[in-house]
Amino acid sequence: MLRTGQVFAIAMAVTSIPVISRIMFDLGILGTSFARVVLGVAVVEDIVLYVVLAIALGIATQGPGASFGLPAVLGFRSERHAEAAALLPGAEIAIEPTLVTELIPPGRDVLACGPEPMLQAVADMCPGAQLAWEAPMACGYGACYGCAVEIGGELKRLCVEGPVLLAA
């Protein structure tokens, strides 16, 4: 059975052609042969990765479990917000004041994104968790430390070292 992280990694590897196109447009190189080569390679890469993702999800759905064969725990602030959970059948739902960390099953791979206090609670509970942190990124090179978050008493620059970091 595929691990949760493997399916997630394959899904995240698919590039964003509109973003690449916009960057090239802003740089004024969209009409060059270099841009055509880069975008052509990106299209081929996307096609290959979508096929790999479909295969990975097909393998993941063969096992028992909830959504795509992978257990999911979703946290919401209200019943109204929780209506979005209908998009992921079989997911466990936590609505405030219940915490997501109360529903995470022990011994599972954990991928989490959300507000910093929740990520800190998940990190304390699951040291091997992969946490997707959010911060404004000014320079994108790690020079300004605008995207730095403190994890385990150490500053991590999300634009360089993240945004997905191990909890421990």
Q: Return d(Cα 24, Cα 34) in angstroms, integer.
A: 10
Domains held by the chain: number: 3
- Residue-number span of the structural domain to which 8 is assigned: 4-60
Confidence (pLDDT) at 112: 84
Q: Higher confidence at residue 5 or residue 24? A: 24
Verify that 141 and 113 share a domain, yes or no. yes
pLDDT band at 65 (very low <50, low <70, confident <90, very high): very low
Q: Return d(Cα 163, Cα 168) in angstroms, integer.
A: 15
Is residue 48 domain-resident? Answer: yes
Beta strands 130-132 and 111-113 are parallel
Is residue 165 domain-resident? Answer: yes
Is residue 65 domain-resident? Answer: no
Q: Among residues of the chain, what percentage have pLDDT more than 90?
A: 4
Is residue 161 domain-resident? Answer: yes
Cα 157 to chain centroid, rounded: 17
Is residue 15 domain-resident? Answer: yes
Q: Return d(Cα 83, Cα 74) in angstroms, integer.
A: 11
Confidence (pLDDT) at 117: 85
Nearest to 6 by CA among 64, 65, 67, 70: 70
Is residue 136 domain-resident? Answer: yes
pTM, whole model, 2 decimals?
0.53
Position 146 pLDDT exceeds 80:
yes
Cα 84 to chain centroid, rounded: 18
Is residue 66 domain-resident? Answer: no
Is residue 86 domain-resident? Answer: yes
Verify that 84 and 135 share a domain, yes or no. no
Verify that 21 and 37 share a domain, yes or no. yes
Contact, 134 vs 114, CB < 8 A?
no
Q: 5: burial class by Cβ within 10 Å (0-12, 13-18, 19+)?
A: middle
Verify that 82 and 27 share a domain, yes or no. no
Verify that 97 and 118 share a domain, yes or no. no
Verify that 130 and 118 share a domain, yes or no. yes
